Amino acid sequence: MRPSPAARTLSAGALLLLLLAVLSVLALGVGAVRTSPADVLGALRGQGDDLTRQLVLELRLPRVLTAMLTGAMFAASGAALQGVIRNPLASPDLIGVGAGAGLAATLFLLAWPGAPAGGLPWAALTGAWGGFGLVLLLSKEWSGLGPGSLHPVRLALVGVAVAAALGAAQQLVLVRAPDGLGAALSFLTGTVYGADSARVARLLPWAALLLPAALLLSRTLDVLSLGDDLATSLGTRVGAARLLCLSVGVALAGAAVTGAGILGFVGLLAPHLARLLVGGKHIRLLPIAMLLGAALVLAADTLGRSLLPPLEIPAGIFTTLVGAPYFLYLLRKTR
């Protein structure tokens, strides 16, 4: 007898939470000074020497939390965008959202280096909407608030082109930035390097607001995925519902970029893996996708820190190496 969808979701969630716990302990022990799992657990309980507690709690724990938060936010954004657009190729980095947010954040820091940290997510959010709107306009299929009819492959190809152009513009800005500012903006290349408690504090309010909001929109996403006609017949105001879901999805990606930069394909991979595990119903899909996204980014960051010490490989390189072949597979499948 096959387990029920709810049982599968609970089992998958429990296994992913266990995986996150193991990855967290490993990540907290990786660095120039290796720390054993026993010492990591002791530091988390407030035991051990001062140096170990400082390494684990003050230097590494914010990095782990940043990786998990940004991974969960990118995954939730991808799941929401795929549900609204009814497009399996939709994800923040493939339809201009991530690149627009990164370029806007770069310009914001360049124009106002001493700006308060709270202003950065708002700049990234503006850029995320700008990049997404440009993709929709160039796709020549945008009508009102109804992107449900967008052709999957056309949207993906236009998104890749727009993301590449915005990414090139960002790199040009970084190259011409004053000395020292380019290093300060290194996190925009897809890494959680240098994450501290201030970055975690900047991300937490957005995650605390937007991740539950995405879960609350689960039923709306289910209805929108049925198509405009059926959604309307069920009493849904399609235009308003689509705008609300798009706003949450774009905001999630824009805020996540300020924490870890443009992490390629996280928003594409995590929802698809979650759909394979628990099906397409969003009340089950979203939490599993969030856990998968958190685990994916944390594993990529931990691998990047441990392969060639003391050099660090950005987490975005690993997520792209895994996600790019899968994207090509989906592109062929939806041809």
DSSP code string of 203-223: HHHHHHHHHHHHHHTHHHHHH
Please provide the average confidence, as pLDDT, over all residues in the chain.
84
pLDDT mean over 82-99: 82
User: Could you read off the pLDDT of 265-313 as tens digits, one per residue?
Assistant: 899 999 999 999 998 899 999 999 999 999 999 999 999 888 877 778 8
pLDDT for 212 equals 96
Give the C-alpha distances (Å, rounded to integers) separating 102 from 3, 129, 131, 159, 264: 43, 12, 10, 15, 12
Q: Please state, in angstroms and rounded to a whole number, the distance separating the CA atoms of residues 88 and 94.
A: 11
Q: Please state, in angstroms and rounded to a whole number, the distance separating the CA atoms of residues 34 and 57.
A: 14
User: Could you read off the pLDDT of 139-194 as tens digits, one per residue?
Assistant: 765 444 444 455 656 777 788 888 888 888 887 877 766 655 554 555 566 788 87
pLDDT for 144 equals 43
Q: Please state, in angstroms and rounded to a whole number, the distance separating the CA atoms of residues 180 and 183.
A: 5
* Greater model confidence, 65 or 241: 65
pLDDT for 291 equals 97
**Quick one: CA dihedral 285, 288, 291, 293, positive or negative?**
negative
User: Could you read off the pLDDT of 1-18 as tens digits, one per residue?
Assistant: 677 878 889 999 999 999
CA 324 to chain centre: 16
pLDDT for 143 equals 43
pLDDT mean over 74-80: 94
* Residue 262: pLDDT band with limits 50, 70, 90: confident
Percent of the chain having pLDDT more than 70?
89
Q: Please state, in angstroms and rounded to a whole number, the distance separating the CA atoms of residues 180 and 206.
A: 28
